[in-house]
Amino acid sequence: MAKTLIEIKQGLECQIGKRLKLKANGGRRKTIERCGILAETYPSVFIVELDQDENSFERVSYSYADVLTETVELNFNEERALMVEQ
């Protein structure tokens, strides 16, 4: 698991443009799974462009703190989890 927000951000910057599977805590024991491409990283958040055939909206954003607290789990197509990789 990543130790700092900076390490998470740096790890994601290397993955821009790659396909990923996103698993997020939707609250009340609900888990949301989406597929897409890591589009951009910003100082506080990262943007994922979602596959249009599966989702009703184009993009979602999450904070690096979401990854740190395990609210969001990212799995890139190389079958490696970002949280394990860091």
Mapping DSSP onto H, E and C, the string for the chain reads CCCCHHHHHHHHHCCCCCEEEEEEEEECCEEEEEEEEEEEECCCEEEEEECCCCCCCCEEEEEHHHHHCCCEEEEECCCEEHHHHC
Q: What percent of the chain has pLDDT over 90?
A: 67
State how many domains the chain has.
1
CATH value at residue 67: 2.30.30.100
Residue-range definition of the domain harbouring residue 38: 5-85
The pLDDT score that the predictor gives to residue 26 is 85
Average pLDDT of the chain to the nearest whole number:
86
Q: Is the pLDDT of residue 79 over 70?
A: no
Specify the residue for token string 């821009």.
16
Q: What is the pTM of this model?
A: 0.81
**Lowest mean pLDDT segment, chosen from 10-14, 17-21, 45-49, 55-59:** 55-59
Task: Read off the pLDDT of each residue in 52-78 and give the average, rounded to a whole number.
Answer: 87
The pLDDT score that the predictor gives to residue 9 is 95
Burial of 3 (0-12, 13-18, 19+ CB in 10 A): exposed
